[in-house]
Structure 1
Amino acid sequence: MTSPDLAARQRSLERIARVARAMDTRFVLPGGFRLGWDGIIGLIPGVGDSIGLAVSGWMILEAHRLGAGRGTLARMVGNAAVDWALGSVPVLGDIFDIAFKSHRRNLALLQREFGAQARPADG
């Protein structure tokens, strides 16, 4: 891969890391517990978890475009599906959604896949 390709991959991975942080760990609650937009949006009945799934879909498409392997992509799809299915359950699903942090899990998969190219997002 040429240097510009590596730079473009790095920018994409950094963008994915920023989105994962915003979705899963953007806000710090008392006691240090972190909450993101996914947990807040997930409270909207009927559509909240589907919005989170759409963001996960974007992350998975980006991972595919960057050349992530089939195993990594399959695990990312699995994380997104579990988050959507269990997060859709009223009340208990909202608690699960806040704790599971599927976007951060998928970011970690990409960090393992691409090694040092994926810098972790703070939080």
Structure 2
Amino acid sequence: MADRTKPYHAAFDRLPGLGRDPQAVRKRVEALEHILERMIVIPGLNRPIGLDVLLDALPVAGSLVGAALGSYLVWEARNLGMSKWQMARMLGNVGFDALLGAIPWVGAIPDYFFRSNSRNVRIIRRHLDKHHPATAILEGR
């Protein structure tokens, strides 16, 4: 019989990558940033693009979906206990990206250069590195 004394969300803590611990959050936000900003590399340019730029091909709806996915990063920041100032900066990045992406077809160009999700993940990483240094991942570059 299932243990009913623990809240329902406690089951998610036992699944890899779905926990609420800072290490799991870091993995999730970095994976989402990779999908949104660096999913594929354009041949010849050797510059990565992600789902955020590709969604700009869909007028209005693509921008809204991109903003919703970017807002998930802000939600994760809130769950980490980040300051209101940091979350406001992150929401500003998402909002600016959504405004740029709302311009049909042409919006993909500034969106290609203004990578709001990468900016937001940098803010989250700085917070995690300062407050949860054990989550730091050394990258060989």
Interval of TM-score (by shorter of Structure 1 and Structure 2): 0.7 to 0.9
Distance apart, 1:113 and its partner CA = 1.4
Q: Is 2:105 aligned against 1:69? A: no
Structure 1 residues 108, 120: CA separation in 2 closer, same or farther (over 3 Å shift)?
farther
> Which one has the bigger helix percentage?
1
Match of 1:38 among 52, 60, 80: 52
Corresponding residue for residue 101 of structure 2: 87
Residue identity opposite 2:24 in structure 1: R
Corresponding residue for residue 98 of structure 1: 112
Off by >2 Å, runs of 4+ in structure 1: 116-122
Q: TM-score, normalised by structure 2?
A: 0.75
Match of 2:38 among 25, 31, 37: 25
Q: Which has the larger radius of gyration?
A: 2
Corresponding residue for residue 11 of structure 1: 24
Residue identity opposite 1:57 in structure 2: S
8 Å CA contact 1:14–1:118 kept in 2: the answer is: no
Deviations 1:44-97 (A, max 9, x none): 012001000101111111110111111211110000000001111123311111
Corresponding residue for residue 3 of structure 1: none
Aligned equivalents of 1:87, 1:46: Cα separation in 2: 8
Aligned equivalents of 1:75, 1:65: Cα separation in 2: 16
Q: Is 2:70 aligned against 1:56? A: yes
Percent identity of the aligned residues?
28
* Structure 2: runs of 5 or more not aligned: 1-19
**RCO comparison, higher one (Cα < 8 Å, 6+):** 1
Q: TM-score, normalised by structure 1?
A: 0.85
